[in-house]
Amino acid sequence: MTTPTPLQLYIETYGCQMNVNDSEVVAAVMREHGYATCSAAENADLALINTCSIRENAELRVWGRLTELRALKRKNPRLLLGVIGCMAERLKEKLLEQEQAVDLVVGPDAYRELPNLVSMAKAGQKGVNVELSREETYAEIAPVRYGGNGISAFVSIMRGCNNACSYCVVPYTRGAERSRDAQSILSEVQLLIDSGYKEVTLLGQNVNSYKVYADDGKTVACSFAQLLEKVALLSPEMRVRFSTSHPKDISDELLHVMAKRRNICKNIHLPAQSGSTRILELMNRKYTREDYLERIAAIRRILPTCSISTDLIAGFCTETEDDHQQTLSLMREVGYDFAFMFMYSERPNTKAARRYKDDVPEEVKARRLSEIIALQGELSLKSKLPYVGKPVEALAEGFSKKSKEQLFGRTSQNMVVVFPQGNHNAGDYLTVVPTRCTPATLIAEA
């Protein structure tokens, strides 16, 4: 007996690491219903676009892509086209009205419903579900790692966000915060270890508020620091990373766990957003510049080798030249190793859109952003120089983009190192001595 040819599922993912992991969950759900993933929309029976709403540009890219896929659908009328993820959640009506070619609109908490919705779409109806949930964590679904390198994987430990940063759409597109059962996280990481993975990144919008309660509903049975330690103890060969930490609740307890466990990578992503306390208050970030710097001091004290990265927004509502200078001075004071840097993009219905005027002119935002980027270039270079000429341990991840004789890997500090392959392979831990560096990369010659 021959097994039936699987249907082909094409997934294109935009946005954050959580979306990448969600696409793997979607692949798992659909695999149970006879779909195998494929790498070109042209070959697909079902094409899903997992979308992001974080900035206007992210949405514009998807609208552009939908025009292309509409054309593809004209050539292949059998193709079902779905929009899933944050834009589906935010723009359900608009998507259904403006894009006749879209057969499915499915929000981030409704992926278990996908097979039913696909059946509906096959029968000629639109398959729509954008309900948010208070419980869904996809806990027992083993993600299908279709796009990965077989070495590092993402594991979502919570969903949603209970913070209310005034500029941010995530609480609207992803709903309320909920933590995933600790045992299911540990089982998933164990499965990765058994399959030869070497690095896991625990994901959440604010991992520090990960919490599962005991049966009484009050006592905390597992905090993030405890979870992190349990994950780290599964195997000394498995590196553990996590993202993102909110500055208002990164605890000393967590820093001590990081210090104690060698395989917990020494990198903390601690988005500051701005260096001005006045702007931070308008952003509703719940910390001041001084609070933030106090947390940086704690990291430096407890984890002297830890690298620190950040996210920054240029040109938030009412930002003055002085506020902007404070962001630049915060950057210098911390000496960030790496940063994601953005121009403020007003998102409809957020608190900032309702209450404040998006009053910094585009060209001023652009100029401030370019100053931030230029400064970060200097800081990134400066942060790498101390590693030149000294042995660093790296986990090899694959061939470098430029040459098939060079591998690239990452240090515990999340710095990219490029080195000659020699007799090493992806997945190996090795020690190399960088001989020079660029702002983005440590480079080791023979």
Among 8, 9, 19, 282, binds ligand F3S (CB under 6 A): 19
Among 205, 235, 263, 274, binds ligand SAH (CB under 6 A): 205
Torsion of CA 191, 194, 198, 204, to 10 degrees: 10
The C-alpha atoms of residue 397 and residue 406 are separated, in whole angstroms, by 11
Residue 106 CB, nearest approach to ligand F3S (Å): 14
239 vs 269 by CB, closer to ligand SF4: 269
Residue 143 is a binding residue for ligand SAH (CB under 6 A): no
Considering only residues 231 to 250 of the shown chain, the ones binding ligand SF4 according to CB under 6 A are 246
The C-alpha atoms of residue 235 and residue 241 are separated, in whole angstroms, by 14
Residue 18 is a binding residue for ligand F3S (CB under 6 A): yes
Residue 245 CB, nearest approach to ligand SAH (Å): 8
Contact 317, 361 (CB under 8 A): no
The C-alpha atoms of residue 173 and residue 84 are separated, in whole angstroms, by 11
| Residue 241 near which of ligand F3S, ligand SAH, ligand SF4, none (CB within 5-8 Å, type-dependent) | none
Site string for ligand SAH, 270-299 (x = CB under 6 A): -x-x--------------------------
- Angle, CA of 420, 423 and 424, to the nearest 5°: 75
Residue 170 is a binding residue for ligand F3S (CB under 6 A): yes
Going along 41-114, which residue ranges are E strands?
Answer: 46-51, 80-85, 104-106
Residue 201 is a binding residue for ligand SAH (CB under 6 A): no
- Give the binding range for ligand SAH (CB under 6 A) out of 4-12, 22-30, 125-133, 341-349: 341-349
Position with the least CB separation from ligand F3S: 15
Residue with tokens 């100029």: 367
Sheet holding 127-129, edge to edge: 35-37, 7-13, 46-51, 80-85, 104-106, 127-129
Spatial neighbors of 143 by CB under 8 A, at least 6 apart, are 21, 24, 25, 27, 28, 153, 188
**Residue 275: DSSP 8-state:** S
Please give the full DSSP string across 3-28, using - where no structure is assigned: PPPPEEEEEEE-SSHHHHHHHHHHHH
Among 21, 173, 179, 206, binds ligand SF4 (CB under 6 A): 206
| Residue 313 near which of ligand F3S, ligand SAH, ligand SF4, none (CB within 5-8 Å, type-dependent) | ligand SAH
Among 62, 86, 155, 282, binds ligand F3S (CB under 6 A): 86
The C-alpha atoms of residue 28 and residue 38 are separated, in whole angstroms, by 13
Q: What backbone torsions phi and psi does residue 217 show, to the nearest 5 degrees?
A: 75, 0
Among 244, 307, 327, 380, binds ligand SAH (CB under 6 A): 244
Which residues contribute to the site for ligand SF4 (CB under 6 A)? 161, 163, 165, 168, 170-171, 205-206, 246
Which residues contribute to the site for ligand F3S (CB under 6 A)? 15-16, 18-19, 52-54, 85-86, 169-170, 173-174
Which residues contribute to the site for ligand SAH (CB under 6 A)? 54-55, 167-168, 170, 205-206, 244, 246, 271, 273, 311, 313, 342, 344-345, 347
